Amino acid sequence: MEYRELGRSGLRVSVLTMGTMTFGGGGKFAYVGDTGVEEARKQIDMCLDAGVNLIDTADVYSTGLSEEIVGKAIQGRRDDLLLATKVRMPMGDGPNDAGLSRHHVITGAEASLRRLGTDHIDLYQVHEWDGRTPVEETLAALDHLVSAGKVRYVGVSNYTGWQLMKALGTADRLGLPRFVSQQIYYSLQARDSEYELIPAAIDQGLGVLVWSPLAGGLLSGRYRRDAQPSEGRQLTEWNEPPVRDQEQLYDTVEVLVDIAGEHGVSAAQVALAWLLGRPAITSLVVGARTSEQLADNLAAAELKLTAEQRARLDEVSRQPLLYPYWHQAATASDRLSPADLSLLGPHL
């Protein structure tokens, strides 16, 4: 297992992170999975044996049940791993049961600590943007948790480029905790994050954790033009991630399957290996309904793709340059930074 620094921090995390959205099966999360304590313990054993050192969860996953299961499954080995969780989403019907106010952030952290059965969270992530709460208030609440020793590092998830830069600029201006990482959706199925979020990570020294790197199973090789699986998340009411271009998705899966055949591995492993070679990527959050799926995903850490195979995947999944990127590619190519080139380089 390879380990990479998480942004500009000194924390080293495995290139694969164990995702736990499948734990619990409460409410809408039943569409994703319903893993109980015993199976969770087995899967965590598999991850630790493979060298995974980070487990990612969130308070909203099955309304806290995922955190509870994680807490029970790691009893006696808390010091062997890092824990990441999140705050922002609704955890009740009250007017202050959601968002990134000082009240909800601190209340959420205390509740997560109880459910996880630990005295600290290694990476505490704001799960989504809150346009009604001043960024200063959210960062001050995170500063309180860090100063109290309840949180070691802070991260962000699902922000736009301008929202991310506003938060980082505010933290720098006021001397408040700076996000060390962002957790984003990024896959061969949708490379939208390459427009702003990946360049921002390169420029600002952020680690990048990727959620749903297999696009909710769409890149597993089971969804093809001439074949559809009989079960899976995409056949339920779960609608993440959306599919904008079905034909491009099918084209991408065909190339994945071809390259997988060249290596004698699964299409899923190829999709994960492609991501691990992209700029700024620190770790991929992989979850699975079954131990068999998890074992297959873990094997991706050892897969190396050739430059030619990467080029084929890049070409079939590439998205068009939006404005002002196409204009910059045409007129600013003489003065582009490494962050700029992460998007524009292949178009020059």
The pLDDT of residue 31:
85
Name every residue whose Cβ is closer than 8 Å to that of residue 293 and which is 6 or more positions away in sequence: none
What are 138-168's pLDDT values in tens digits? 999 999 999 999 999 999 999 999 999 999 9
Residue pair 157/175 in contact by the 8 Å Cβ criterion: no
Residue 302 CB partners (closer than 8 Å, separation 6+): none
pLDDT at 234: 58
pLDDT confidence of residue 241: 87
Asked if the model's pLDDT at residue 102 lies above 60, the reply is yes
Q: Is the dihedral of CA 323, 329, 335, 339 positive or negative?
A: positive
- Annotation marks residue 61 as catalytic: yes
Taking residues 282-290, report their average pLDDT. 94
In this prediction, residues 233-240 reach a mean pLDDT of 64
Q: Has residue 235 got a pLDDT over 60? A: no
Total residues belonging to the chain? 348
Q: Catalytic: which of 61, 153, 159, 223?
A: 61
